[in-house]
A and B are shown apart, each in its own frame.
Chain A
Amino acid sequence: MRQSCRALDWGQGVPLPRDSGARGGSMSTCSVSKGCFVFKPNSKKRRISSTGDYFSEGKNDSEDSGLRFATCQLLWKQINSEMEKIQDELNKQLFDNLINFLRQSHSEFQTESTEWMCRMKSSEIPTAALVLGVNVTDHDLTFKSLSEVLQDSITPYVVSLQAKECPGIKHLLQKLMGQLMNCYVDVDDSEEEECVNISQKKMRCSMASLSQWYKDVTKKSGFETSSKKRTSSSRHWQSPPIVVIFKDMESFTTKVLQDFIVISSQHIHEIPLVLIFGIATSPMIIHRLLPHSVSSLLCIELFQSLSCKEHMATVIDKLLLTTQFPFKLSEKVLQVLINIFLYHDFSVQNFIKGFQLSVVEHFYSQPLSVLCCQLQEAKKRINSLSHNQCENIRSLPSFRRYVESQVSEKQIALLTEDNFLKEVTQTLLEDLNSYHENYFPVLRCLHVFTSSLPKYPLGKQIRELHCACLGKRVWETEEYGSAVQLMRMLAKAELVAILQKCVEIFTSSSGKQFSNTIEKMEEFLTRFQNLEAETNDIQDVSVSSQNELQKKTDLYHLQKTLLELKESKRSKKLTKFEMLRFEVVDFIESLVRSYLTPAEMQTLNEVVYFNTANTLREHLNAAPRIALHTALNNPYCYLKNQTLKSDVGCISNTAPDICIAYKLHLECGRLINLVDWLEAFSTVVTAVEGKDLDSTATDQMDEIIHARFIRAVSELELLGFIKPSKQKTDHVARLTWGGC
């Protein structure tokens, strides 16, 4: 959604007013309200601009900071290009449809047919209603690539308009013509026409001049293509359409849209105009914005983009559930990112930005992240680790656990000899790598099972399953138990289909360890096929018992037989199918237990897993009100000045004036008497300063204190804690409630 621009300013939490009106922009520290946020110097933007220096000036030891920075950048570059590839693939279908539509839309314009049909039909403006979903922040990227695609394949004349740029029809036309004439300049910037075009900007913005311009331009470019064989313009047709994209249809005012459509429909014979409405909610909005008389001028076709949830699923699949990238997210971090996505914004871009922040944060805060690269490279790097880094390895909790499990001689060697440690680390990293190689195929396999169960005890999406497996031993959870129980009740057809899918997953995965697994599964499959004959027998049995039931008419006998049947069912030996089913489920369970162990249990997991979810939450899901309260209530938290350290209850007079005023106001009711407040304020302030009270100085002091008080009060008013009240004289009203 719309908010991300704020969230993307990376943790420089913007203190929002209570309505979170649109803002953003530069974060200077001049204002009091902005001062209550820590400006943690880990903005990604700055980091890259000041290159690797930043990594080394951090508080933690500067081991390999340059290398870490380089690794981080390289990794991000790879991830980013992968992301772009995914985006392109996802958008391809939609864009292809749109391009087809655009090609057809003005085919009559090309052929200039004069049939009766065409004369009779009112010439509508071809319009594509592009439904993109509510994640408005993602739209910019989509529109950007859309206009690039269009410019490549259809027409150089692509204009995108935003509602806030077009408060009136005049501005809209100005914007439209400005962009059109510019893109014309782009097409042949070598020509001397440039200056003419610039002067044309002063030309009056009306549709008539636009159509004149279009006529000139197409005539000229047509001439050029024939004479100069320009490759750039030969991609397009003789008269390429002008595509106008309304990025945010919802925000346009009805009048502007209506006027524009009415005007352009009068010129549709001269300019091949195509409109694209970017719609975030539902296409109903078109009917809500445009009356029938206007919408009847349009020929609207609907295009729907992939829903953002599916988009997200693909991104997670390609980005997280793969061994392609060494960097991994821990369960908690992933949960934070997913929660922000599902609960707040539905924005895939924000998710990726959050992922980027995790990458940067990991490489910045974890000195051992230098080993977070491809295995071969990591092994090389281990050899050149310094003593400090070795100490870092030794202090990792997971490594300590590992050491404790070793025999005592080895323990000593691990803790004292750097070289031995390096050797062991290499093997441990190998183990970690193979853990990942096994983990993902098994996870997918388990997902195939759980996603076919009723009510999805382990979640419908693979990401839920992934989170469950990452965090704890999944086989110990209640949900897993119920899932296994349900798995034991799967029908044969389902089970066979699932097994086939699992075989596919394992065969496509790179790990060689799975050859046994595949064999085993294929064996299961063949055994299922051999079962056919037996199942028929079972049916016969059940049919005969049914017949018996029907014969009995006596109530007593009926009851008796029913009881017998029940008994026999309980004690009945399991059919072969059921046996086999148990075997399959047990096999899957054994796979899960051996391969889906939680990541935290892995030795050296800290090297590749980013797990400080708190930092991420602080940055991405800022809570301005809480931060404001902390800043005013406990200034030490942000100012880090030892004299400000105080007990919870009391009010220190060394705190900034506004903090004193704030604390005092917390004790008041809805209406605050200014005189009382001032008195309390001056008491607190003079508590220490006024050790030697003499009368002449107090007067002087009072004036100053008065002024300080007034300033503090007006600052509080600015922050929205109080406002002047007309109910009582000399009172202000509190706008917040509770002492927090």
Chain B
Amino acid sequence: MPNFEHPEYPEATLLHLESMVPCRESQVSSLLSVFGKRQHFSFPSIFIYGHTSSGKTYVIQTVLETLELPHLFVNCIECFTSRLLLEEILTQLQNLSSEKKHGSRVPCDTFNDFVRLFKQETITQDLQNQTVYIVLDKAEQLREMEANVLPGFLRLQEFTDRNVTVIFLSEIVWELFRPNTGCLEPFTLYFPDYSIGHLQKILSHYHPPEYSADFYAAYINILLGVFYTVCRDLKELRHLAALNFTKYCEPVVRGEASERDTRRLWKNIESHLKKAMQTVYLREISSSQWEKIQQDDGEPGHLKGLSAHAHVELPYYSKFLLIAAYLASYNPARTDKRFFLKHHGKIKKTNFLKKHEKTSNHLLGPKPFPLDRLLAILYSIVDNKVAPTANIFSQITSLVTLQLLTLVGHDDQLDGPKYKCTVSLDFIRAIARTVNFDIIKYLYDFL
């Protein structure tokens, strides 16, 4: 007895569909009932949302393909302008309505043209009789296009007077889409995250042909035990499962353990998986490098991840410029006197500052500072005399292109530009150490 009941489709198709979409039965059955019969008009628009890799795209695609409904799929990131998007839809529609390919692309600039051309394309009887489904994947991109695109798609059925349904797939909720001018509300459908049981079921579903399903399921169980706390992304988990499976099988291949000896297998794999979580999962080490390590059976220790190479070598004055920028970003301007004048007198921290300045500046983040202040601090922290040469100024620009400083405000502003220092305390301390500059002594937060 299939889970899905629908008078329109044969039972075998429905059964097949059910096997294809594990753990998404309720969503699919509500979709089926919304779709109705082929020739029925459906909702003008359906909005499906759910977290990353909760099966939205896959489920829709499988349903539409298995039931052989006329449909077309467009990825909105790929079609980054409305023109590209509309033309892509029209081309796919051409391919749908006639078997032979039209080579020519239909120029379509506005939504108005689109509606007109859409009507022309769907004139054939075949498309008249059944609902055409337009699936817009990554629909959140639509919000960045012209204001009329999203409302237009929502009422496409009404505009074109054709049997068409637009399905939006998105990772964010409908409330964030709703234009303030109002629009036709779509039918919304939520795809909840897969639970750990679901993940287990889906991942074990595709086991490698050489090994039994149970063996693989046990492996998935261990894998989820390690990774479930940090990652629920199905794709990512599947990738990790594939990467580490050979290591898991090693004792079996070598004949040291049987397939049922789960304890030994677990002991063998657990630390390995944990290491994978710190490296491959974070993309510190690429998956191909990880595989190489596994093959060589070497320790991944000698291969440093990306973050291990945090050290940046800078020219001498650039280092001081960066230090000066850091000081200017994190010290209140009024304390400069205290740090850089010889006879500054004592300033007590508590009385000296306004209330809001008492919170740590490092918690508040860097503040913008003018160029003059940067140079003034630079001149006072460098031991020997620095001539204000062109090289010094261009070093500042270089630091901006290296993203170690950022220019606040517009690029064109030549008059009194302001900067922010974007490096972290650890980074600047490492830099300061190389030039024997005790930066902590100069930071107001650490007085």
Question: Footprint of B on A, CB under 8 Å?
Answer: 1-3, 6-7, 13-14, 16-22, 104-105, 116-117, 119-122, 124, 126-127, 129, 131, 133-134, 136, 169-170, 204, 206-208, 248, 250-251, 259, 262-263, 266, 280-288, 292-293, 295-296, 298-302, 304, 307-309, 340-346, 621-626, 720, 723
Contact = CB atoms under 8 A, between A and B. Distances in A.
Contacts of B309: 131, 282-284, 302, 304
Given A136-B401, A286-B283, A299-B287, 4 more contacts: A121-B287, A129-B306, A283-B306, A342-B315
11 contacts: A18-B393, A116-B242, A117-B208, A119-B206, A121-B242, A122-B238, A134-B315, A208-B78, A284-B306, A287-B283, A304-B309
B13 interface: no
Nearest to B78: A263
Contacts of B242: 116-117, 120-121
Contacts of A286: 283, 306
Interface in B308-330: 309-318
A458 to B, nearest CB: 20
B301 interface: no
Given A18-B371, A343-B315, A134 B236 contact: no
B283 A120 contact: no
A122 to B, nearest CB: 4
Contact of A1 (B235, B306, B315, B316): B315
Contact of A285 (B87, B387, B403): B403
Given A296-B236, A625-B388, A344 B315 contact: yes
B288 A299 contact: yes
A134 B208 contact: no
A64 B191 CA distance: 86
B77 interface: yes
Contacts of A21: 397, 411, 414, 417
Given A116-B208, A266-B75, A122 B394 contact: no
B390 A7 contact: yes
A204 B243 contact: no
B278 interface: no
Contact of B389 (A283, A285, A622): A622
B297 interface: no
Contacts of B315: 1, 134, 341-346
A621 B390 contact: yes
Contacts of B239: 120-122, 296
A122 B235 contact: yes
A6 B390 contact: yes
A626 to B, nearest CB: 7
A206 B404 CA distance: 33
B289 interface: yes
B283 A259 contact: no
B396 A340 contact: no
Contacts of B414: 17-19, 21, 720
Contacts of B283: 286-287, 292, 295-296, 298, 300
Contacts of A343: 315-317, 391
B395 interface: yes
A124 B397 contact: no
Contacts of A281: 312, 402-404
Nearest to B141: A259
B78 A299 contact: no
Contact of A20 (B209, B306, B310, B390): B390
B149 interface: no
Contact of A250 (B208, B238, B403): B403
B81 interface: yes
A163 to B, nearest CB: 9
A249 B371 CA distance: 26
B390 to A, nearest CB: 5
Contacts of B402: 134, 136, 250, 280-281
Contacts of A345: 315, 391, 395, 398
Nearest to B392: A344
A280 B289 CA distance: 23
A127 B402 CA distance: 20
Contacts of B316: 342-344
A280 B366 CA distance: 23
A120 B206 contact: yes
Given A2-B401, A17-B414, A124 B287 contact: yes
Interface residues of B, number: 62
A6 B209 contact: no
B385 interface: no
Interface of B: 52, 75, 77-81, 84, 87-88, 105, 206, 208-209, 233, 235-236, 238-239, 241-243, 245, 282-283, 286-289, 306-307, 309-318, 371, 387-398, 401-404, 411, 414-415, 417
Contact of B87 (A133, A204, A250): A204
A301 B312 contact: no
A595 B320 CA distance: 40
A263 B314 CA distance: 35
B243 A302 contact: no
Contacts of A2: 394, 397-398, 401
The 3 closest A-B pairs by CB, nearest first: A20-B393, A3-B394, A120-B242
A341 B313 CA distance: 13
Contact of B79 (A104, A206, A251, A304): A206
A415 B96 CA distance: 100
B395 A307 contact: no
A295 B314 CA distance: 27
B171 to A, nearest CB: 10
A663 B402 CA distance: 39
Contacts of A300: 283, 286, 306
A193 B406 CA distance: 47
A621 B317 CA distance: 13
Given A2-B398, A345-B391, A308 B52 contact: no
Contacts of A308: 313
A119 B283 CA distance: 20
B304 to A, nearest CB: 8
A263 B75 CA distance: 9
Contacts of A723: 415
B197 to A, nearest CB: 20
A162 B310 CA distance: 24
Contacts of A19: 371, 393, 396-397, 414, 417
A623 B387 CA distance: 7
B337 to A, nearest CB: 16
B340 to A, nearest CB: 16
A17 B282 CA distance: 44
Contacts of A126: 288
B415 to A, nearest CB: 7
Contact of A22 (B81, B289, B397): B397
B312 A134 contact: yes
Given A1-B395, A122-B236, A282 B312 contact: yes
Nearest to B372: A18
Nearest to A302: B306
A626 B313 contact: no
Contacts of B288: 104-105, 126, 299, 301
- Which one of A1, A2, A250 has the highest number of Cβ atoms from chain B below 10 Å of its Cβ? A1
Contacts of A626: 387-388
Contact of B391 (A116, A131, A340): A340
Nearest to B79: A206
Contacts of B282: 287, 292
Given A20-B393, A120-B238, A206 B84 contact: yes
A9 to B, nearest CB: 11
Nearest to A345: B315
A573 B282 CA distance: 66
B236 A1 contact: no
Contacts of B88: 206, 208
A299 B289 CA distance: 9
Contacts of B314: 134, 346
Contacts of A293: 52, 233
A399 B239 CA distance: 78
Contacts of A206: 78-79, 84, 88
